[in-house]
Structure 1
């Protein structure tokens, strides 16, 4: 089970172990991480699970697909170079220590 840390918009951190194979979004919503709305439930249709992947991790994750890239154009918070939809990142053992930042808004 990889450890994952969410840095919230207010600077507080919430870290926990999450099972391999689940999305970062599912791990966040299951643990009650504030700021991850996940309105579409992980179907890559709404962009309300937008996160900023820590720069140290950005190049280690699989590249976003065309659908994810299109939705990232519609995020409420500013899109940054490390922006991702957390529903599209599936946790693996290699992601031990993953750090993501939650934007200040999803709407």
Structure 2
């Protein structure tokens, strides 16, 4: 099954993409050339170049941050409670239509 993920950049531009169930938000962004998501570590939760903010309407459905994810996010300035690493959000049918917001720049 394909799962729709909507990326919204800092100007409000929306990009609708799709990724395979079981993939993750970072992989969908990289595969669809979404600007602002680098995924330098390849999804190993070893950098923060796939930093996103989960739209409030989806926060409960994406789960909690892991301890490792939390530690990676501490390297970013002004991390919001809804900040996540895209590599750590696995796509499921329940996330079809997931909306995430991109930062102005990755660090």
Please tell me the TM-score bracket, short chain as reference.
over 0.9
**1:11: which partner in 2?**
12
TM-score (norm 2): 0.94
Q: Number of paired residues? A: 106
TM-score (norm 1): 0.94
Gap runs ≥5 in structure 1: none
CA distance in 2, matches of 1:75, 1:37: 15
Runs of 4 or more consecutive aligned structure 1 residues displaced over 4 Å after TM superposition: none
Give SS of 1:36's match.
coil
Contact 1:47 1:85 in 2 (8 A): yes
Note the aligned Cα RMSD (angstroms).
1.0
Give SS of 1:26's match.
helix
Give SS of 1:70's match.
helix
- The structural deviation recorded for 1:54 is 0.2
**1:97: which partner in 2?**
97
Give SS of 1:60's match.
helix
